[in-house]
Amino acid sequence: MSPQKIIIDTDPGQDDAVAILLALASPEELEVLAITTVAGNVPLDLTSKNARIICELAGRTDIPVHAGCDAPIARKLITAEHVHGKTGLDGPTLPDPVMPLSDGHSVDVLIDTLRAHDAGTVTLCTLGPLTNVAVALDRAPDIAGRIKQIVMMGGAYFEVGNITPTAEFNIYVDPEAAKIVFASGVPIVVLPLDVTHKALVTAERNDAFRALGTPAGIAVAEMTDFFERFDKEKYGSNGAPLHDPCVIAWLLEPDLFSGREINVEIETGSELTLGMTVADWWRVTDRKANALFIKDVDADGFFTLLTERLSRY
Ligand code: RIB
Ligand code: CA
């Protein structure tokens, strides 16, 4: 079977970095057409720099990295240095990138790439705020019918919020963008905190990354050593939740995950619950299902997959 064509829209971020490494280590299954960056965990200049740092760590300077929107559609940017550090990739010491940014704004690249490939053949993997995708859908409504699916890390229901009591960061940063995406009619797979908080990098799992002994394995272990502080302190959890790699792992081995086709709406009116993903998990409304909402993962299977793929570097 030929590899699935994907575009990774991202705001690296340590967990984004691991997701990118997982994707680039899986060329039989995934063809990464482009990486499009967006402001999120840290400002755009840093997410765009970090994406290239990771491509170079993966030995994949052939992957075009494009910079995108530097702020949400209708709000001031909120970043997450408190989680990811000042650089967005705190933890390992990695060299500044040599590879340049590729020409073209992420929004134009999304539109042009989707128009250049057969309809229904390109998957968007979104790992950050949905600003780029929403602006592309707004500027070129025809692409909605061309996107195979959007597989996103975002939202929360049973797990509630990580940036406010009710909202997950990616959705909260740009709720207007999320509203556009969830109303687009594009097939959506959501990997919310409900599942990513079950993909915890325990000490044993992180030791397995470090034991790979390669620059990639050691860098992932050192990113995790930094990244886990926030969640361990806040949730008392047994390690860092690997949010964004769940998106790529779902594409590689969907049977590791389970969820339900339900309706998900985005709160954009109330300041109190702004950015909440109102997931009708119990189907108590007659609102049409618009997303596959993932709730569970075989965590051991996930880490076996991830560690094996990282061992390929
Ligand atoms: O809430 C977790 C999400 O926000 C992850 O994608 C993380 O990288 C940040 O973007
Ligand atoms: Ca992210």
Residues with CB under 6 A from ligand 1: 11, 13, 15-16, 40-41, 127-128, 153, 162, 168-170, 243-244
Handedness of CA 23, 27, 29, 35 (dihedral sign): positive
Which domains are delineated in the chain? 4-310 (3.90.245.10)
pLDDT exceeds 90 at position 3: yes
pLDDT exceeds 90 at position 234: no
DSSP SS3 for 228: helix
How would you class 215 by CB atoms within 10 Å of its CB: exposed for 0-12, middle for 13-18, buried for 19 or more? middle
Which of 153, 195, 277 maximizes ligand 1 atoms within 8 Å of its Cβ, making it the mutation to test the pocket?
Answer: 153
* C-alpha to C-alpha distance for 249 and 310, rounded to whole angstroms: 12
pLDDT exceeds 90 at position 233: no
* pLDDT of amino acid 299: 98
Distance from residue 275's CA to the centre of ligand 2 (Å): 16
Q: What DSSP element (H or E) covers 190?
A: strand 188-191
Annotated catalytic residue 243? yes
- Please tell me the residue having the least CA distance from ligand 1 atom 2: 169
Distance from residue 124's CA to the centre of ligand 2 (Å): 14
Q: What is the DSSP letter of 25?
A: T
Q: What tens digit of pLDDT does each residue of 148-178 get?
A: 999 999 999 999 999 999 999 999 999 999 9
* C-alpha to C-alpha distance for 178 and 278, rounded to whole angstroms: 12
Question: In angstroms, how far is the first alpha carbon of the chain from the final one?
Answer: 23
* pLDDT of amino acid 236: 87
pLDDT exceeds 90 at position 198: yes
* pLDDT of amino acid 238: 87
Q: Looking up tokens 């070129």, which residue turns up? A: 140
Work out the mean pLDDT of the chain and round it to a whole number: 97
